[in-house]
Structure 1
C-alpha cells in the first residue's frame, strides 16, 4: 500500500476500532454488573420478606408472597426437601434442588394453632420457656437463632424458573430462617433477568450498528484531512519533477502559508535549491575561468613552437619553459581544488608550524624581497593536519605578499588561545575593506594586468582558505602595521 492517505486512513480506523471495541466491552460489562446487582437486591428483599414470615411461625398457607411471576419462591428444610413453593411454579433450576412439589417433613410440619397441645404439655412448656428466654440456637454452624433470619449476606446463583408455562432466567438469593420451633429453612427467591438481558441486548445492538458507521466516518474524515494536508507536498513533488526535467535550478517550489512541517519542508527545499544553484554556478564559472586561464599559456607556447619550427634561430626557450611551468602550476592548483571540493580529508600528522615556516622561507632563494621570520625555535606550535597542504598555504601567502609588497615582507608564528597563528605581512597597497572577502574567491584578481604578468591565476588565496577550513582553522585579511595587508592563518592545536 503505497499511498500515505490510505495508510493513514486505515491506521486511524484500526486505532478507533480497537478503542471503541474496548470501550464497548467495558460499558457492557459495567451495565450488566449494575443490572445484576439490582436483580440481587430485589431477590434478597423478596427472600428476606418470606424468611421473616417463617421466622414468626406464620403457617405456610397464610404466607404473603409477592408477585409469583416476578419473584418465584422455593423453601427447603435442613434435609434439602422442598416444603413450600410459590403458586404456579412448574420447574426451577439454580437453587440446589429442582423439586417443585412440597413433601411432608417431620421437622417442618405445619405450626400448631395458638393454645393447641401436642400431647406432651410439660416438654412443650419447657421448650417454650427455652424459646422465650431469648437464647439463640447457634449450635449448628452459625445458623440463625429461633425466630430469627440470618444476617449474613445471602448466596446468589443464576437459574431458570417456569411459572405458568413461561420459562425465564432468574437471579436467586438464598436466605436462612429459623422458626420458633427450631426448624431452619432456606428460602430461595428469584428476580427476573429479562430487563438486564433486554438492556444489554439493546446496547449491544446499538454498538454493532453504530460501530461500522462510525468507522466509515473516521476513515472518510482521515482520508480527506490527510489529502488536504498532503496537497502542498504534491505541489512540491510536481515542481521538483519539473526542475529535474528542465534542469532549471532557478525555479523554486511553492511554499504554503501555513507554519507546519510541510511549510518547513518547502522552505528547506528552496534553501537546498539555492545552495545547489550557487554550487552549480560556481562550478560553471570555475570551468570557464580554468579554460580561460589555460588558454593563454597554451596559445603562447604553441606560438613559440610554431615559430621555432619555421625559424629555429628565433626559438625563445626561456619563454617556452616559463609557459610550461605556468601550465604545470595551474594544473596542480586545479587538481588540488578538485580534491578539496570532493571532500578530501587532511592527514592527521603532527606539524610544527614554526619549523615549517622557517623551512619554507629558507627554500625561497629567488624572492625579490627578503622575508623576515619571527618564529622562535623550540616553541610549542604544533597542529594536526597535512604537512604538504599547510606548506602550500604558507607558500601561497608568501607569493601573494611578494607580488604586492614594495620593500618589506614578514612572517610571524605565535600562540593564539587554543591554537597557533601564522601572520604574513607586507608594505604594499593593502586590500580595500570591501574587497577582503572577495579576494578569497577563485580566479579573482584585484589587479588583473599585474597578476597575469606575475603568473598569478587568482587561485592561491582560494586554495589557502579552503585548506585552512579543512583543517578546522580560519584565514582572514587585515590591515598591517606596515600599511599593507596582513593575512592571519589560525589553526587549532591537537585535542
Structure 2
C-alpha cells in the first residue's frame, strides 16, 4: 500500500481487531468460568443434601434426590458400585462409573442393614427399626468434573460435584450430583454469536473512521505537496506553502517548509547578485586590459604597460577574492594551527611597503595571544582591515592587540570620516561600497570586509565596527583563545 491513509486505516483496524479478539476471548473465558462455578456450586448443594441424608442413615430407597429439579444423582460405595440413583436417570458419564442400576444387598452398604433387632435377636415391640445413628459428611472441598447424563430420554451436559459421606456403621459412600450446563452453554454461545456478528461491523466502522480522520489530517500535507510541486515546476521561490491554523506537527512542518523556502530564496538571490556583481566587477578590468592591448597592437608606442599591469593585478586580486568566497560558501573548514596573533600583526604590517599612511602597531611585549585557525585566512583578514583603513584614513592608522574575555581582540582604527551607524552592518555585505568609497576607491571591489567577517565567523569569532575616539572607524576582530 502506497497510501498513508490506507496503511493507517489497516494498522488501526488490525490493532483494534487484535484487541477485540483478545478481549472477547477473555470475556468468554471469564463468563464460562463463572457460569461453570455457579453450576458446580448448585451441584455441590445437591450432593451435600444427599450426603447429609446418608450420614443420618436414611435408607437408599427413601433418599430425596431432587429429581424434579433436573439434578441427576448417583451414589457409589467404596468399591465403586452404584447403590442409589435419582429418578429417571438412564445414563451417566464423568462420575467414575456409568452404571445406573443400584445393587440392592446388605453388602452394598445399605445404612439400615443389620440395624433392625435388639441384642437378643427379638424385634421391637412396635415392629419399627431402632433409632438410627448419625454419621458424618466430608467437609472438605468436593471434586468437580464435567460429564453427561440422560434423564427421562434427554441427554445434556452437567457439572458434577462429588461429596463423601460416612454412615454411622462406618460405611463410606460418594454422592455424585450434577447441575446442568445448558445455561452456561447458551450464555456463552449468545455472547460468542454477538461478537462474531458485531466484530466485523465494528472493524468496518473503525476502518472507515480511521480513513476519514487520516484523510482530514493529511489534507494539509497534500496541500503542501501540491504547492511544493508547483514551486518546483515554476522555480518561483517567492511562493509559500499554506500553513494550517492548528498547532500540530503538520502546522510546524508547513512553517519549517516556508522558513526553508525563505532561506533558499535569500540564498538564490544572494547568489544571483553575487554572480551579477562579480560579472560587473570583472568586466571593467577585462575591458580596460583588452582596450590597452588592442591599442598597443595597433600603435605599440601608445601601449600603457603600467596600466595594463595594474589592471592585471586588480583582476588577479578580484579572482582570488571570488575564489576564497566560493570556498567559504562551500563550507571549507579552517585549519586548527595554533598561532600568535600579535606576531601575525607585526608580520603583516612589516610587509606593507608603500602605504599612503604609516601603520602604528600596539602589541604588549609580555603578552601571548594565541589562537587556533588558518594562518593564511587570518592574515587575509588583517590585511583587508588595514587596506580598508588606508583607503579612508586622513593622517593615522593604528592596529592594536589585547586579550579579552577568553579571546584575543585585534583593533584597527583610522581617523577618516567613519561609518554612519545605519550603514555599519551593510558594509559587510558583498560588493557594497559607500558613496565616498566609490570616489576614492583605488581598485577595491567591496569584497574585503565581507571576506573578513566570513573568515572571522568560521573561526568562531566576530567582526564589528564602531566609531573611534579620533572620529574615524574602529574595526574589532575577536577570536577565541587557543585551548
Smaller-chain TM-score bracket: over 0.9
Does structure 1 conserve the Cα–Cα contact (< 8 Å) formed by 2:83 and 2:108?
no
Q: Using the alignment, how far apart are the partners of 2:200 and 2:349 within structure 1?
A: 86
Shift in alpha-carbon separation, 1:389–1:449, aligned structure 2, 3 A: closer
2:354 aligned with 1:353: no
Give structure 2 stretches of 5+ with no counterpart.
123-128
> Who is 1:403 aligned against?
391
In the alignment, which residue of structure 2 is the partner of 1:285? Answer: 273
1:29 and 2:29 correspond? yes
Contact 1:414 1:420 in 2 (8 A): yes
RMSD between aligned alpha carbons?
2.0
TM-aligned CA deviation for residue 105 of structure 1: 4.3
Residue equivalent to 1:124: none
The 8 Å contact of residues 408 and 478 in structure 2, kept in 1 or not, is answered as yes
Using a 3 Å threshold, how does the CA distance of structure 1 residues 109 and 67 change in structure 2: closer, same or farther?
Answer: closer
Shift of 1:494: 2.6
| Residue of structure 1 equivalent to 2:125 | none
Give the Cα–Cα distance (whole angstroms) in 1 for the partners of residues 107 and 434 of structure 2: 133
Can you give the 5+ residue segments of structure 1 that lack an aligned partner in the other structure? Answer: 122-127, 133-145
Correspondent of 1:209 among 197, 203, 228? 197
**1:106 aligns to what SS in structure 2?**
helix
Instruction: Give how far 1:350 is off.
Output: 0.9
- Residue of structure 1 in register with 2:376 after alignment: 388
User: In structure 1, how many angstroms separate the alpha carbons of the residues matched to 2:401 and 2:186?
Assistant: 97
CA distance in structure 1 between the partners assigned to 2:295 and 2:465 by the alignment = 44
Structure 2 equivalent of residue 170 of structure 1: 158
Distance 1:462 1:450, change over 3 A: same
Bigger mean CA offset, 258-267 vs 354-363: 258-267
Q: Distance in 1 between matches of 2:158 and 2:111?
A: 29
Q: Distance in 2 between matches of 1:475 and 1:60?
A: 115
Provide the rounded CA distance (Å) in 1 between the counterparts of 2:32 and 2:207.
31
In structure 2, relative to structure 1, the CA distance for the partners of 1:108 and 1:468 (3 Å cut) is same
1:260 CA drift (Å): 1.1
Preserved contact between residue 478 and residue 487 of structure 1 (Cα < 8 Å): yes
Offset, 1:5: 0.4
Does structure 2 conserve the Cα–Cα contact (< 8 Å) formed by 1:369 and 1:408? yes
Partner of 2:314: 326
Instruction: Give matches, 1:121-132, under 5 Å.
Output: none
Give SS of 2:348's match: helix
Contact 1:69 1:163 in 2 (8 A): no
Give the conservation status (yes or no) of the 8 Å contact 1:445–1:451. Answer: no
Task: Find the aligned partners of 1:89 and 1:118 in 2 and give their Cα distance.
Answer: 39
TM-score by length of 2: 0.95
Cα distance in structure 2, aligned partners of 1:452 and 1:341: 29
1:84 aligns with: 84
Distance in 2 (alpha carbons) for counterparts of 1:250 and 1:448:
34
Task: Tell me what 1:362 maps to.
Answer: 350
What do the CA deviations read for 1:155-185 (whole angstroms, capped 9, x no partner)? Answer: 1111111111211111111111122222211
Decide whether the 8 Å contact of 1:232 with 1:262 is kept in 2.
Answer: yes
Q: Which residue pairs with 1:184 in the alignment? A: 172
Match of 2:421 among 404, 413, 433: 433
Q: Which residue of 2 aligns with 1:376?
A: 364
Tell me the SS of whatever aligns to 2:67. Answer: coil
- Name 1:479's counterpart in structure 2: 467
The question of whether the paired residues in 1 share the 8 Å contact of 2:74 and 2:176 is answered with: yes
Distance 1:450 1:174, change over 3 A: closer
Structure 2 counterpart of 1:39: 39
What is the CA distance between 1:57 and its match in structure 2?
A: 1.3
Shift of 1:310: 2.0
> Are 1:442 and 2:450 counterparts?
no
Q: 1:448 and 1:331 mapped to 2: Cα distance?
A: 24
Counterpart-to-counterpart distance in 2, 1:453 and 1:481: 24
**CA distance 1:453–1:112, shift in 2 (3 Å):** closer
Aligned length: 476
How far apart are the structure 2 equivalents of 1:395 and 1:192?
A: 106
Query: Residues 67 and 86 of structure 2 are in contact (CA less than 8 Å); yes or no, is this contact kept in structure 1?
Result: no
The whole-number CA distance in structure 2 between the counterparts of 1:166 and 1:119 is 51
Partner residue, 1:135? none
> Where does residue 296 of structure 2 map in the other structure?
308
Residue 247 in 1 paired to residue 235 in 2? Answer: yes
Say whether residues 1:11 and 2:42 are aligned partners: no
8 Å CA contact retained: 1:451, 1:457: no
3-state DSSP of counterpart to 2:221 = helix
| Alignment of 1:71 onto 2:71 | yes
The answer on 1:53 being equivalent to 2:41 is: no
Residue 424 of structure 2 is aligned to residue 423 of structure 1: no
**Post-superposition CA distance 1:421-478 (Å, at most 9, x none):** 1110011111000100000000000136646641111000000000001111100001
Supply the distance in 1 between the matched residues of 2:398 and 2:83 (Cα, whole angstroms). Answer: 128
TM-score (norm 1): 0.93
Q: Report whether the alignment pairs 1:147 with 2:135.
A: yes
Question: Helix, strand or coil for the counterpart of 1:173?
Answer: strand
